[in-house]
Structure 1
Amino acid sequence: MATIDQLRAELQAWQDALNAHDSGDFRTSLRLFAPIADTSKIILNVALIHDRLGERSEAIENLNRAIELDKYLAVGYFQRGGMHFHAGQFAEALEDFMQAATMMRANVEINYDILGLNYKLKLSEVLFNRGLTLARLGRADEAATVLRAIEAEGLSGKIARALKTPNECYPCSLPAGILYRPSATKMQLLNAAAQTSPASPVKPSLPSLHTEKSSTYLPSVSSRKYRKRKTSIASSYMSSPLSTTTITGGRVPKREELSRVIGVDMTVPHTDITSTPCAGVRVSHGQLAGLMAWRFIVQPDAAPGTSKHSSAHNPPPAVVVNFLLDTGSQKTFVPQDACAAIGLKLDPGTEVTLRIQGVRTRCVVADSDDAGRVGVSFMTAGSLSYYFDAGIVAPVLYDGSAERPSKVPRTIRPEDLPRRKPWILRLLSVFAFKS
């Protein structure tokens, strides 16, 4: 673990690099950042400086590194999309802007100021960039749909120009000179700690820079070790800003655990709810309490060239599977038994493309006793976002590029949830087991 002096040295190097940048000495700034460039914050700074120097390939390369360290770095996708746009790489730019919107999770803005970056990333600007990129790709109708959906967000002038002369318009991006900066409070606390015990390598009162790999509002994996651990599996789950726990870590949840709280798994479809938007449930009790779950229809990916006529007479096999929303994972996991139920005999660890609630998703086959989990790959493939609907008291998945739906069908009805035994019966069952 880093000592107080080491933390102070890293913060001082960070500040020295910023001072060089602010004085216009970008090369010296890059040289000073290099020894401490192992967090998404610092690497994003390096990318922004390369961009100011006109070194776009180096800038994109560093943004790739920053995003590898922090999969939820919405501002990273946003800025990289702009760089791809200026390079004429419109397909790559569109993918980045879609990712940025997904990572914002239906928030209208993310204020990065509390994290040291003096910038508010607005969903309207992300969607403007997406619409402009669609226009540059020649997809005028899609561009118009996206852009007109945000006309009331104070961008009417830019939207009008983008619709009329898209080749003369450019995407929104971070202003020049905006960089991640360390908080003055952190340096003050470290200085105070050093004065109280100048020579002893005591446990720091603040995590080291190496724990700040997440530049977003979601905790990074490496920062979790500084949190107090609990004995329950629930300690492996982190909460999102919507007060809905979505990130799983540690021990993989089991199918039996999930079925116990939301109902039977692996059933034959008896519903017309085959797509989004759709509502799930927030698990109310047990070791998975707080997580969000849905029942989704899983089908094989349609073979290329299959006609609509033949598929109507011979619909593909399907099975209804319990899933947890796991935005802490890039991958989507489907239990081995679910694959077998639709005629696919695959070993755990195999990658396969499936249709989950109609969304074509690249999946990983999980062990048969592991719970199904939809991750970022599913959300991105369907351009999906989610919110918690207080009216129906349920989480809702929907197309993030569209308005929130007014009526949402439920994949799990409250009356179908397994009923908990009264506390006295649960207590008696424990004593009966022990006897």
Structure 2
Amino acid sequence: MAYRDLVRGWHEGILAMDKGDWDSALKIFSSIEEPSSRIYFNIGCVHLSTGNPEGALQAFDKTVTKDNHLAVGFFQRGFVCLQLEMYEEALYDFSMALTHLRNNPFIDYKQLGLRHMLCAWEVLYNTAAVQCRLGLWQEARITLEEAIRQRPEGRTTSLDVALEWVQNHLFLEPIHVPLGEFFRPRKEEVEQLDSKDFLGKPKVRPPRLQKDACSDRPVLYRMVAHHGYTAQRPEDLEFNEGDTLDILSEVNEEWLEGHCNGNFGIFPKCFAAQASIGAACP
């Protein structure tokens, strides 16, 4: 399937979801050949909205199979596993979500089309919720105390109450990505669906590729870091807020390979926003 057709089906599915027409959304998404991890994520969210955790589990399985770095995919699957009383599986998924947060306090998925910020404290809170159901009250308390240490402003009261519940051996209600939040295609891609030339044919804009002066590799596009990123592994690219990044390849839907300040490596896409091409190579 051409990417243009995938975007069209994706957009039509989103329109159905926004109307609450879950059956049509599932039908549209199911007709897409080789769905991306984000489309499988949306299918899982539809099943959650209709009270079908088994269907959601199958969709989120495919989500993390397609992209095994997608922290929010593991987070959602962990929530479903908890609902289905698959507690060991839920613990694994929340552990994987934390792993792919890579010691960062959050990942903002807005750049990828999901209006949600997954925070480390949320993953820890859900981990504690599973530990409660396994009767691991001491472990749940320790996990929740770590969530409290990482809590943002404004969450003090709710997490303190949760800690009291754990101390009194009461179950915690798990949290998930809010219903109604889905991965959406980029606005620019949707707008181009109806763009045509004077003959009535879809416009095809050839890519404007420049070369990275430091590596002689084609630059797909440039991004500007709106958060600093600290390297966690040797292959990571470290940068500061405001740095310009030359994007050399797209590793997957969540990670990019880039160049900045003389260094090369990979980094989470959600730490930067696309900029106009033309900035000089640092």
Is the shorter-chain TM-score for this pair beyond 0.5, marking a shared fold?
yes
Q: Report if aligned partners of 1:128, 1:159 keep a CA contact under 8 Å in 2.
A: no
2:15 counterpart residue number: 19
Amino acid at match of 1:34: S
Residue 188 of structure 2, aligned match among 185, 191, 196: 185
Q: Aligned-pair RMSD on alpha carbons? A: 3.6
2:201 counterpart residue number: 199
> Would you say 1:174 and 2:170 are equivalent positions?
no
Residue 242 of structure 1, aligned match among 224, 229, 232: 229
Taking structure 1 as reference, are residues 196 and 228 closer, same or farther at Cα in structure 2, changes over 3 Å only? farther
1:85 counterpart residue number: 82
> Would you say 1:99 and 2:96 are equivalent positions?
yes
TM-aligned CA deviation for residue 21 of structure 1: 1.8
- Taking the aligned partners of 1:136 and 1:227, their CA distance within structure 2 comes to 55
- Taking the aligned partners of 1:58 and 1:227, their CA distance within structure 2 comes to 44
Amino acid at match of 1:27: D
> Would you say 1:144 and 2:148 are equivalent positions?
no
SS at match of 1:145: helix
SS at match of 2:48: helix
Amino acid at match of 2:197: Q
> Would you say 1:130 and 2:127 are equivalent positions?
yes
SS at match of 2:114: coil
- Taking the aligned partners of 2:80 and 2:111, their CA distance within structure 1 comes to 25
TM-aligned CA deviation for residue 90 of structure 1: 0.9
- Taking the aligned partners of 1:227 and 1:78, their CA distance within structure 2 comes to 38
- Please show how residues 400-411 of structure 1 align to structure 2 within 5 Å: none
SS at match of 1:178: coil
- Taking the aligned partners of 2:210 and 2:68, their CA distance within structure 1 comes to 21
SS at match of 1:24: coil
Q: Report if aligned partners of 1:80, 1:96 keep a CA contact under 8 Å in 2.
A: yes
Runs (5+) with no aligned partner, structure 1: 207-225, 249-285, 292-325, 329-435
1:295 counterpart residue number: none
Aligned residue pairs, count? 229
2:6 counterpart residue number: 10
Residue 75 of structure 1, aligned match among 66, 72, 75: 72
Residues 271-295 of structure 1 show CA distances to partners (whole Å, capped at 9, x for unaligned) of: xxxxxxxxxxxxxxx9xx657xxxx
SS at match of 1:110: strand
SS at match of 2:197: helix
- Taking the aligned partners of 2:234 and 2:22, their CA distance within structure 1 comes to 38
TM-score normalized with structure 2 length: 0.68
Taking structure 1 as reference, are residues 290 and 200 closer, same or farther at Cα in structure 2, changes over 3 Å only? closer
TM-score normalized with structure 1 length: 0.46
Residue 164 of structure 1, aligned match among 162, 168, 172: 168
Runs (5+) with no aligned partner, structure 2: 219-226, 236-261, 269-282
Amino acid at match of 1:15: H
Q: Report if aligned partners of 1:82, 1:93 keep a CA contact under 8 Å in 2.
A: yes
Q: Report if aligned partners of 1:112, 1:118 keep a CA contact under 8 Å in 2.
A: yes
TM-aligned CA deviation for residue 166 of structure 1: 3.3
1:415 counterpart residue number: none
1:55 counterpart residue number: 52
TM-aligned CA deviation for residue 185 of structure 1: 2.6
Q: Report if aligned partners of 1:136, 1:166 keep a CA contact under 8 Å in 2.
A: no
TM-aligned CA deviation for residue 14 of structure 1: 1.9
Amino acid at match of 1:156: D
SS at match of 2:135: coil
Of 170-179 and 92-101, the range deviating more from structure 2: 170-179
Amino acid at match of 1:104: L
Task: Give the fraction of aligned pairs with identical amino acids, expressed as a percent.
Answer: 27
Residue 32 of structure 1, aligned match among 10, 28, 33: 28
- Taking the aligned partners of 1:174 and 1:98, their CA distance within structure 2 comes to 17
Taking structure 1 as reference, are residues 29 and 200 closer, same or farther at Cα in structure 2, changes over 3 Å only? closer
1:258 counterpart residue number: none
Taking structure 1 as reference, are residues 227 and 68 closer, same or farther at Cα in structure 2, changes over 3 Å only? farther
- Taking the aligned partners of 2:56 and 2:125, their CA distance within structure 1 comes to 22
Taking structure 1 as reference, are residues 89 and 166 closer, same or farther at Cα in structure 2, changes over 3 Å only? farther
Q: Report if aligned partners of 2:63, 2:73 keep a CA contact under 8 Å in 1.
A: yes
